[in-house]
Amino acid sequence: MLDLLAGFVSQLRRSGIDISLTESLDAARAIEHMDLGDRESFKYALAATLVKDHSHSGAFDTVFDIYFASSAYDPAGDIAGELSELDADQGTQAGSASLGQDSGMNAGQGGNGQSLSPEELIEMIYKALLMDDQEWQRQLTRLAVTAFAGIEKGRPVGGVYYVFRTLRNLNLEALTERLVDARINSKKGEVSGLQAKLISDDVKAKIDAFKKEIESEVRRRLVADRGPEAMAKTLRKPLPEDIDFMHANREELASLKRAIQPLSRKLAVKLARKRRHKKRGPLDFRKTVRHSLSYGGVPAELKFKSPRASKPEIVVLADISGSVASFARFTLQMVHTLGTQFSKVRSFVFVDGVDEVTSLIDGSDDIGEAIYRVNTEADVVWVDGHSDYGHVFETFWEKWGKEITPKTSVIVLGDARNNYHASGAWALGEISRKARHLYWLDPETRSYWDTGDSIIGEYAVHCAGVFECRNLRQLEKFVEQLA
Amino acid sequence: MSDVFASPKDVSRGLEGQSYLSNESIASVVYLAAKLGKPVLVEGPAGTGKTELAKAVASMAGARLIRLQCYEGLDESKALYEWNYKKQLLRIQAQNIAEAEGAEVTWKDIEDDIFSEEFLLERPLLQAIRSEDQVVLLIDEVDRVEIETEALLLEILSEYQVSIPELGTVTASQVPMVFLTSNNMRELSEALKRRCLFLYVDYPELEREKEIIKAKVEGVTDELADQVGRIVRTLRELDLKKHPSVSETLDWARALVLTGIATIDPETAKATLNLLLKYKSDIEKASKELTLSA
Ligand SMILES: Nc1ncnc2c1ncn2[C@@H]1O[C@H](COP(=O)(O)OP(=O)(O)OP(=O)(O)O)[C@@H](O)[C@H]1O
Ligand SMILES: [Mg+2]
* Exposure letters B226-244 (e unless 16+ CB within 10 A, then b): bbbbbbbbbbbeeebeebb
Do β-strands B135-140 and B64-69 pair in parallel, antiparallel, or remain unpaired?
Answer: parallel
In the prediction, which pLDDT does A296 show? Answer: 63
Q: Measuring CA to CA, which residue among B54, B74, B71, B62 is closest to residue B178?
A: B54
In the prediction, which pLDDT does A80 show? Answer: 41
* Dihedral sign (CA A429, A401, A333, A278): positive
In the prediction, which pLDDT does A376 show? Answer: 67
Distance B69 CA to ligand 2 centre (A): 9
Query: Is B234's Cβ below 8 Å from some Cβ in A?
Result: yes
In the prediction, which pLDDT does A367 show? Answer: 67
In the prediction, which pLDDT does A309 show? Answer: 56
Cβ contacts of A190 within 8 Å, gap of 6 or more: none
Same domain, A31 and A111: no
Which residue has its alpha carbon closest to ligand 1 atom 6?
Answer: B49
Task: Judge whether A387 and A414 are in contact, CB under 8 Å.
Answer: yes
Among A54-68, A341-355, A358-372, B183-197, the least confident range? A358-372
Give the H or E element holding residue A314: strand A313-319
- In which region does residue B62 sit, left (phi positive, over 0), alpha (psi from -120 to 50) or beta (all else)? left
Same domain, A458 and A378: yes
In the prediction, which pLDDT does B13 show? Answer: 95
Do β-strands A465-468 and B40-43 pair in parallel, antiparallel, or remain unpaired?
Answer: unpaired
B35, B43, B85 member nearest A33 (Cβ): B35
Which residue has its alpha carbon closest to ligand 1 atom 23?
Answer: B47
Do β-strands B177-182 and B135-140 pair in parallel, antiparallel, or remain unpaired?
Answer: parallel
Count Cα atoms within 13 angstroms, Cβ side, for B91: 18
In the prediction, which pLDDT does B194 show? Answer: 93
Is B291's CB within 8 Å of A194's CB?
Answer: yes
Same domain, A61 and A79: no
Residue where a domain terminates, one of A201, A218, A241: A241
In the prediction, which pLDDT does A280 show? Answer: 63
A29, A48, A300 member nearest B85 (Cβ): A300
| SS3 (DSSP) at A468 | strand
| SS3 (DSSP) at B280 | helix
Q: Measuring CA to CA, which residue among A271, A224, A207 is closest to residue A77?
A: A224
Task: Judge whether B8 and B24 are in contact, CB under 8 Å.
Answer: yes
Percent of the residues in chain A that have a pLDDT greater than 90, as a whole number:
28
Same domain, A322 and A412: yes
Q: Is residue A261 part of a domain?
A: no
Same domain, A226 and A369: no
| Shortest-distance ligand to the CA of residue B211 | 1
Q: Is residue A36 part of a domain?
A: yes
Mean pLDDT score, A150-176: 83
Same domain, A53 and A93: no
Residues with CB under 6 A from ligand 1: B 19-21, 46-52, 181, 183, 212, 216, 246-247, 250
Please choose from B50, B60, B246 the residue to mutate so as to test ligand 1's pocket, defined by most ligand atoms within 8 A of CB. B246
In the prediction, which pLDDT does A192 show? Answer: 86
Which residue has its alpha carbon closest to ligand 1 atom 9?
Answer: B49
Q: Is residue A166 part of a domain?
A: yes
**Helices and strands (DSSP H and E) totals, chain A:** 20, 6
In the prediction, which pLDDT does A449 show? Answer: 92
Position A81 confidence tier, pLDDT thresholds 50, 70, 90: very low
Same domain, A460 and A344: yes
| Shortest-distance ligand to the CA of residue B245 | 1
Same domain, A185 and A126: yes
Distance B204 CA to ligand 1 centre (A): 11
Position A27 confidence tier, pLDDT thresholds 50, 70, 90: very high
R_g (Cα) of chain B, nearest Å: 25
Q: How far apart, in whole angstroms, are the C-alpha atoms of residue A212 and residue A166?
A: 12
In the DSSP assignment, the letter for residue A55 is G
Return the higher-pLDDT residue of B279 and A152. B279
Residue where a domain terminates, one of A27, A47, A68: A68
- In which region does residue A303 sit, left (phi positive, over 0), alpha (psi from -120 to 50) or beta (all else)? beta
Position A246 confidence tier, pLDDT thresholds 50, 70, 90: confident
Q: Is residue A217 part of a domain?
A: yes
Mean pLDDT score, A401-412: 91
User: pTM for the whole thing?
Assistant: 0.77
In the prediction, which pLDDT does A229 show? Answer: 78
Mean pLDDT score, A388-409: 91
Q: How far apart, in whole angstroms, are the C-alpha atoms of residue B200 and residue A56?
A: 11
In the prediction, which pLDDT does A276 show? Answer: 67
Q: How far apart, in whole angstroms, are the C-alpha atoms of residue A71 and residue A75?
A: 10
Cβ-based contacts of B35 with chain A (< 8 Å):
30, 33
Distance A34 CA to ligand 1 centre (A): 27
What is the number of structural domains in chain A? 3
Q: Measuring CA to CA, which residue among B166, B260, B181 is closest to residue B221?
A: B260
Q: Is residue A170 part of a domain?
A: yes
R_g (Cα) of chain A, nearest Å: 30
Give the H or E element holding residue A68: helix A57-70
Cα three-residue angle B41-B46-B47, rounded to 5 degrees = 100
In the prediction, which pLDDT does A365 show? Answer: 65
**What stretches of B18-137 show up as alpha helix (H) in DSSP?**
24-36, 50-61, 76-79, 85-100, 107-114, 124-130
Burial class (CB in 10 A: 0-12, 13-18, 19+), B24: middle
Is B28's CB within 8 Å of A270's CB?
Answer: no
Task: Judge whether A183 and A199 are in contact, CB under 8 Å.
Answer: yes
Burial class (CB in 10 A: 0-12, 13-18, 19+), B139: buried
In the prediction, which pLDDT does A70 show? Answer: 46
Return the higher-pLDDT residue of B59 and A334. B59
In the prediction, which pLDDT does A307 show? Answer: 60
Q: Which domain holds residue A158?
A: 75-241
Q: Measuring CA to CA, which residue among B85, B167, B98 is closest to residue B126?
A: B167
Q: How far apart, in whole angstroms, are the C-alpha atoms of residue B259 and residue A296?
A: 60
Q: Read off the CATH number of the domain in which A368 is found.
A: 3.40.50.410
Q: Measuring CA to CA, which residue among A316, A311, A273 is closest to residue A469?
A: A316
In the prediction, which pLDDT does B97 show? Answer: 77
Helix axes A39-50, A21-32, angle to 10 degrees: 160
Residue A21 distance to chain B (closest CA, Å):
10
Same domain, A118 and A202: yes
Residue where a domain terminates, one of A223, A241, A259: A241
Per-residue pLDDT of chain B (294 residues), as tens digits, is 667 789 999 999 999 999 999 999 999 999 999 999 999 999 999 999 999 999 999 999 999 999 999 998 898 889 988 888 888 888 777 777 777 777 777 777 777 777 888 888 889 999 999 999 999 999 999 999 888 888 889 888 888 888 888 888 888 888 899 999 998 888 888 899 999 999 999 999 999 999 999 999 999 999 999 999 999 999 999 988 889 999 999 999 999 999 999 889 888 998 899 999 999 889 999 998 888 764
Cβ-based contacts of B225 with chain A (< 8 Å):
none
Q: Number of residue pairs across A and B with CB atoms under 8 Å?
A: 116
Mean pLDDT score, A209-215: 90
Same domain, A59 and A113: no
Q: Has residue A259 got a pLDDT over 60?
A: yes
Same domain, A137 and A224: yes
Is B24's CB within 8 Å of A48's CB?
Answer: no
DSSP states along A100-128: GG--GGGGGTS-TTSSS-HHHHHHHHHHH
- When the pLDDT of each residue in chain A is averaged and rounded to a whole number, the result is 80
Q: Has residue A96 got a pLDDT over 50?
A: no
Q: Which of A138-142, A287-291, B194-198 holds the top average pLDDT?
A: B194-198
Cβ-based contacts of B1 with chain A (< 8 Å):
none
Q: How far apart, in whole angstroms, are the C-alpha atoms of residue A262 and residue B186?
A: 9
Task: Compute the residue count for chain A.
Answer: 483
In the prediction, which pLDDT does B85 show? Answer: 81
* Exposure letters A353-388 (e unless 16+ CB within 10 A, then b): bbbbbeebbeeeeebbebbeebbeebebebeeebbb
Q: Measuring CA to CA, which residue among B181, B29, B10, B152 is closest to residue A50?
A: B29
In the prediction, which pLDDT does A297 show? Answer: 64
Same domain, A413 and A332: yes
Q: How far apart, in whole angstroms, are the C-alpha atoms of residue A473 and residue A242?
A: 7
Among A123-137, A216-230, A443-457, B33-47, the least confident range? A216-230
Q: Is residue A277 part of a domain?
A: no
